[in-house]
Amino acid sequence: MTIKAHALRAAEMAGSLILLGCLFAAIAPSIAHAQGGYPPDGYPPTESYPTQGYPPPRYPHTAGFNRFEPKYTFSLFLGSRFGGNIAINTPNVDYLPISNSFNWGFNAGARLVPHLFAEFMWNRQTTTLSAHDIPTNAIVPLTDNAHLDLYQGSLLYEIWASSRVRPYVVGGIGFTHFNSQGILSFSDRFSYNLGGGVKYLFAPHMALRAEMRWSPSRTTSSQTRFCDPFLGCFETSINNHAEQGQANIGLEFRF
């Protein structure tokens, strides 16, 4: 099986996990409500409860998950980064495709307000850079040891934060460091990310985490002709981007 096939399979598995987690989180409250009122018949009257004036937890073994709100999080992950071309304006080569391959890294977060976290992400992809040769229409490998490192600051918001299954949305900005082994004329470029995922808390201080992100990186610039009915036609500069996606799964520590 090729690297591309592995990467696509990883992306499909992560996407399925995220969709299943979101579906479970959406229907769980309805199932719980359908099981009947609380407290059930046979409980002592309300006035006999302790001073807090409400019945004991319906599910005592999950009470710790609902009460604990972490100040910090740290997660390790691995997965796949896929897609992306680097535009090159030369007579014989028009772009450099970035091969799909595995990536890995970590997220370090701090709670800003309940359920909202600021995170720093470092993510490394070791991949092959190739060249698209225009005369032959062939893809020619240039190096199989290119490193693409993402350094991103993001905001992450947990949805339905009283449940063990916690979908979230995430987005941020930063830069990508291109270590191309001397092939590219640049190294650091602006980049950003948008995505979402789901966490499953299997212990009060630990969670499984799966996510997908769209993470474009600015690469080169080129000239294009723009025509306006009032201003006429003129040449203008545009920024090209390596349009990459990623699917990751990892373990999060909450403390």
CB 67 within 8 A of CB 82: no
CB 22 within 8 A of CB 29: no
Q: What is the value of pTM for the model shown?
A: 0.73
pLDDT digits (tens, 9 = 90+) for 40-67: 555 455 555 454 444 454 444 444 555 6
Domains of the chain: 3-254 (2.40.160.20)
Rounded percentage of the chain residues whose pLDDT exceeds 90: 64
SS3 state at 83: coil
CB 77 within 8 A of CB 105: yes
Residue whose C-alpha is closest to residue 114's, from 74, 75, 71: 71
pLDDT digits (tens, 9 = 90+) for 163-213: 899 999 999 999 999 999 999 999 999 999 999 999 999 998 999 999 999
Cα distances from 83 to residues 101, 179, 217, 247, in angstroms, run: 9, 17, 11, 12
Tokens of 9: 């399979």
pLDDT given at position 67: 62
